[in-house]
Chains A and B, each alone.
Chain A
């Protein structure tokens, strides 16, 4: 594997070169920026689309928070647009809000921004390839997102509104058209949109795997890959094996709704005073199929961030990654174990409690590889020379926040405790810590870090730090308090819980959280301004503004078509920082060994 023969090397890139085109201005523009097959352009297309949806998802979250803090009070702006009763939210509108908030955030933001934007942009660059193995397929994987964007987007405007049975879409609520006002076209469009996201991810994942297996630069053995690539690789494996199950299940739910196959409807189901026309199915079957995908999916939503954070931490701690191989094995461990823990979402579902015990044990075990990762990050920071760039601050906060989100997972993994906290805000706290405070912070770290490679300019550090500071404060204000809210048993997905004696004193706390959420969303204006301003007016970055080691930093910023203006050859692992005896302190993967000798000689 490590020594490439001349014959294997020579079979080459000819297949992946885009066809020749005549340079006509409009066609040129279209082929460069719209129907581009260049992985970098596709990556940026994903980035811009997902950031836009991030904003939408954030605004939906604000509407959710508004209702929880001040139930049935007039909603500013949104209320005028949508709600029926003079600006006041209807309860079914609330169910739609959090369903679509989660759907947008998960399927249109986090998954595509990690795999689609960063996966696309970084994989060929970091392994020394000129593009993906199948550029056309790659382009299609972006264009399959558009039907999804349109279907989800359109569903807000159909009769009855968008899907409103939670992002988990549990039947019979989701399959029986009589069961909810929003259960008309909205739910059907939701299922179709999901299928499109599925096709997109599937096209992407097989392409990524092929590229990483076959198109690494000479000398780039598997164990010299940067953690980002390892994470993307294993994420692609997860997607390829878990997603088809959701696609199958989604289709079954679709036929249940459209033609009444009844897979998930029990016999004799009476909804809204009318007997369901079909039956004989099992509601729990959907939950099994859904979580068989969606548990691995939560790792799809964090592994790439973990990989990117590892690379950023080492760069700005100026230190080799602590325990490279354990880090790789733990990603693989998380992915492997991730397939056998799905039942921990179903402890209270009526599933056999004995089965619950086996899921509990496997869930406990999945904390182990995460523990290994956490300790190795700490080991990486230890003894480093930390440079407080915005990117580093976000990366450090990823570690800090992931610990919180992970530890709350232990409470829920403990089945008896889950009896009390299941479907309360404790869960909501847990997954916002891993998803928002974890992954989204990791994504920001990555944006600040690779922005120079994407646009050839660096983002403004001062405003970046202001953005970090405000986001960090407000996010903890919003989400940390959810833990204690959950400890009271405050249920999730309730439009108004204050009429319960147990919960009526919790409104002020919720109002506080909503203020923080407003602050959090408002802080993003700074980010958006910084982002767009820097794209055009930021200081020009050279090839390697952070003195980092991996291959992409030896290419021009931004890299041209074909990425490299030389043949990259890899001589070492990606984390050679603060190498003793090397004057510039770090050794890029492409620095030839004789550079080490000369540098060592120069040092004496």
Chain B
């Protein structure tokens, strides 16, 4: 069954998997189809971890797919002589190929914990910089105003236009009014679901100024795709000026919201 040529052809098909697979990953960055620019402090350790796992799995990928190709190539019934090896297994091999991956994976598990703790567990001790309330289909922002406290008369209200200072610890208080959303900042390697009924802290530090996307990454209804915001990172001075101007504009266009109304949103 199957001529010799058939065997060669099919082996090469299986060889194409690791070859083209690696090639895809190799050329993707040059087409800008790769991790977007990182501008947060913790992001580099996430990226580092990504590359580390890419290398690790890459080695496993090339090795296993390579072996598969090699065996298919070599042990083609039309080519190889004599009967197949009559063997039921090897105890030693089983132990080896259990222990090595086990050790590797355990190492990986422990190695990454620190980064996870930095991003999700070691919350900086500070008052929230801004409160983000997700809602179908927009991001409602609330800055604490001059007194530095949320829920007071001088709170500043905005939608979808988040401004934050560079090189400072930022603590966001994330809430949702209706359904689940997810606060995704690709360039900051930040993602956190917003859950109605919960207040979830999100923190990071921006390294660079600029404008970036806020993406909603959890299905929240028909308008999920357009729940888009922008985050502007600027110097402290610019940020303060922007805060003043926006506050003045808010004062001019509408009466300060009642404390009670603001509190009711909690």
User: Among the listed stretches A34-42, A79-87, A176-184, A235-243, which one makes contact with chain B, having 4 or more residues with CB under 8 Å of it?
Assistant: A176-184
Q: Is B149 an interface residue (CB 8 A)?
A: no
Contacting pair A350 B116 (CB below 8 A): no
Q: Is A137 an interface residue (CB 8 A)?
A: no
Question: Which of chain A's residues have a CB closer than 8 A to the CB of B197?
Answer: 266-269, 282-283
Q: Is A497 an interface residue (CB 8 A)?
A: yes
The CA of A182 and the CA of B219, in the complex, are separated in Å by: 13
User: Among the listed stretches A250-258, A374-382, A554-562, which one makes contact with chain B, having 4 or more residues with CB under 8 Å of it?
Assistant: A374-382
| Chain A residue, CB-CB nearest to B102 | A368
The CA of A145 and the CA of B197, in the complex, are separated in Å by: 38
Q: How far is the CB of A474 from chain B (nearest CB, A)?
A: 13
User: Among the listed stretches B26-34, B242-250, B251-259, which one makes contact with chain A, having 4 or more residues with CB under 8 Å of it?
Assistant: B26-34
Question: Which of chain A's residues have a CB closer than 8 A to the CB of B49?
Answer: 414, 416-417
Question: Which of chain A's residues have a CB closer than 8 A to the CB of B180?
Answer: 170, 172-173, 283
The CA of A233 and the CA of B178, in the complex, are separated in Å by: 43
Question: Which of chain A's residues have a CB closer than 8 A to the CB of B6?
Answer: 388
The CA of A407 and the CA of B105, in the complex, are separated in Å by: 12
Contacting pair A381 B68 (CB below 8 A): yes
Q: Is B98 an interface residue (CB 8 A)?
A: yes
From residue 175 to 191 of chain B, which have CB atoms closer than 8 A to chain A? 177-180, 182, 184, 186-187, 189-191
Q: Is A284 an interface residue (CB 8 A)?
A: yes
**Contact indicator per residue, chain A 574-596, by CB within 8 Å of chain B (1) or not (0):** 01011110000100000000000
The CA of A320 and the CA of B86, in the complex, are separated in Å by: 7
Question: Which of chain B's residues have a CB closer than 8 A to the CB of A575?
Answer: 88
Question: Which of chain A's residues have a CB closer than 8 A to the CB of B198?
Answer: 266, 350
Q: How far is the CB of B241 from chain A (nearest CB, A)?
A: 24
The CA of A356 and the CA of B89, in the complex, are separated in Å by: 37
Contacting pair A378 B67 (CB below 8 A): yes
Question: Which of chain B's residues have a CB closer than 8 A to the CB of A354?
Answer: 121
Contacting pair B121 A386 (CB below 8 A): no
Q: Provided the pairs A266-B196, A403-B65 are in contact, do residues A176 and B108 lie with their beta carbons within 8 angstroms?
A: no
The CA of A98 and the CA of B113, in the complex, are separated in Å by: 34
Q: How far is the CB of A18 from chain B (nearest CB, A)?
A: 39
Question: Which of chain A's residues have a CB closer than 8 A to the CB of B50?
Answer: 411, 417, 420
Q: Which residue from A324, A383, A485 sits with its C-beta under 8 Å from B85?
A: A383
Q: How far is the CB of B137 from chain A (nearest CB, A)?
A: 10
Contacting pair B83 A385 (CB below 8 A): yes
Question: Which of B17, B76, B94 counts the most chain A CB atoms within 10 A?
Answer: B94
Contacting pair B21 A384 (CB below 8 A): no
Q: How far is the CB of B23 from chain A (nearest CB, A)?
A: 10
Question: Which of B25, B112, B192 counts the most chain A CB atoms within 10 A?
Answer: B112
Chain B interfacial residues counted at CB < 8 A: 98
The CA of A283 and the CA of B193, in the complex, are separated in Å by: 12
Question: Which of chain B's residues have a CB closer than 8 A to the CB of A271?
Answer: 136, 178-179
Q: How far is the CB of B118 from chain A (nearest CB, A)?
A: 8
User: Among the listed stretches A49-57, A125-133, A502-510, A516-524, which one makes contact with chain B, having 4 or more residues with CB under 8 Å of it?
Assistant: A502-510
The CA of A509 and the CA of B27, in the complex, are separated in Å by: 13
Q: Provided the pairs A403-B61, A491-B215 are in contact, do residues A420 and B14 lie with their beta carbons within 8 angstroms?
A: no
Contacting pair B191 A270 (CB below 8 A): no
Q: Provided the pairs A393-B10, A472-B13, A484-B28 are in contact, do residues A509 and B33 lie with their beta carbons within 8 angstroms?
A: yes
Contacting pair B75 A179 (CB below 8 A): no
Question: Which of chain A's residues have a CB closer than 8 A to the CB of B187?
Answer: 502
Question: Which of chain B's residues have a CB closer than 8 A to the CB of A266?
Answer: 195-198
Contacting pair B119 A419 (CB below 8 A): yes
Q: Is B153 an interface residue (CB 8 A)?
A: no
Q: Is B124 an interface residue (CB 8 A)?
A: no
Q: Is A216 an interface residue (CB 8 A)?
A: no
Contacting pair B200 A379 (CB below 8 A): no
Q: Is B87 an interface residue (CB 8 A)?
A: yes
The CA of A318 and the CA of B194, in the complex, are separated in Å by: 55
List the 9 closest A-B pairs by CB distance, nearest first. Answer: A266-B197, A383-B85, A92-B222, A323-B89, A388-B2, A489-B186, A353-B120, A385-B77, A578-B84
The CA of A317 and the CA of B68, in the complex, are separated in Å by: 13
Question: Which of chain A's residues have a CB closer than 8 A to the CB of B220?
Answer: 173
Contacting pair A385 B75 (CB below 8 A): yes
**Contact indicator per residue, chain A 349-373, by CB within 8 Å of chain B (1) or not (0):** 1100110110011001101100110
20 new A-B contacts, CB < 8 A, other than A267-B197, A322-B87, are A90-B222, A173-B220, A269-B178, A318-B83, A323-B89, A348-B191, A372-B94, A379-B93, A382-B67, A387-B77, A388-B7, A393-B10, A396-B72, A419-B191, A423-B217, A476-B17, A480-B24, A496-B226, A500-B215, A505-B32
Q: Which residue from B86, B97, B119, B136 sits with its C-beta under 8 Å from A416?
A: B119
Contacting pair B98 A381 (CB below 8 A): no
Q: Is A538 an interface residue (CB 8 A)?
A: no
**Contact indicator per residue, chain B 132-144, by CB within 8 Å of chain A (1) or not (0):** 0000100000000
| Chain B residue, CB-CB nearest to A370 | B101
The CA of A346 and the CA of B115, in the complex, are separated in Å by: 18
Contacting pair A493 B224 (CB below 8 A): yes
Q: Is A165 an interface residue (CB 8 A)?
A: yes
Q: How far is the CB of B187 from chain A (nearest CB, A)?
A: 7
**Contact indicator per residue, chain A 279-305, by CB within 8 Å of chain B (1) or not (0):** 000111000000000000000000000
